[in-house]
Amino acid sequence: MAEPSRFIEVVDVIGVLASVVGLGLTLYLLSVAKGARQAAEQAREAALSSARRRSLSEELENVRRMVQQVGNLLQQEEWLAVQMRTEEILGTCRAAMARWGDGLSVATRDDVLRAANLVKSIAQKSSEYGDRDLTPAEKNKLTSTHLTASGLIHVALGEAHRQEERDDNGTGN
């Protein structure tokens, strides 16, 4: 009779050991899964951040092209077209800053909105000119305002590209 009880004790010990090993294995796998989940979340955040920066860069590149077109339209004295393009620039700048403004420094964000306001002032002045010829002083003022706005957009675009490059280097892309 001693033997069956000894057998039961051995089975109990083996069962306890198997339970302990199972618990240890479960805890190990749980920690590995948690680490994998955190790594996946970090990779996802980095990918989303990179996509957002690219979108900001694309928006600012679009604004840069439109500001350049305004310069061409100023040279041709196409006032109605200047006003129409200005409206697009204002909308695009404001939408981009509302959506992706956190991708730029506060000063650069303000400069993008300042550039939009400078372009707006060009449109306001152009509506005053109508069909008459501009004086050299008026042309110089419009050109100077346009160049200032263009420079501000270029700086913002450069900052967005720099941030995009940093994000890409940080994620190994």
pLDDT above 70 covers a percentage of the chain that reads 90
Q: Which residue has the higher pLDDT, 1 or 16?
A: 16
Q: For position 167, what pLDDT does the model report?
A: 75
CATH number of the domain within which 55 lies: 1.20.120
Query: Looking at residue 51, what is its pLDDT?
Result: 55
What value does the mean pLDDT take over residues 87-101? 91
The number of domains in the chain is: 1
pLDDT one-digit tens code per residue, 43-62: 677 666 655 555 788 999 99
pLDDT, residue 159, reads 93
Question: Considering all CA atoms of the chain, what is the largest pairwise distance in Å, rounded to the nearest integer?
Answer: 121
Q: What pLDDT does residue 90 have?
A: 94
The pTM (predicted TM-score) of the whole model is 0.66
Express each pLDDT in 105-158 by its tens digit.
Answer: 999 999 999 999 999 999 998 888 777 788 899 889 999 999 999 999 999 999
Q: Between residues 46 and 166, which one has the greater pLDDT?
A: 166
Going by pLDDT thresholds of 50, 70 and 90, the confidence category of residue 6 is confident
DSSP string, 98-167: HHHGGGS-HHHHHHHHHHHHHHHHHHHHHHHHTTSPPPHHHHHHHHHHHHHHHHHHHHHHHHHHHHHHHH
* Parent domain of 79: 2-171
Average predicted confidence (pLDDT) for the chain: 86
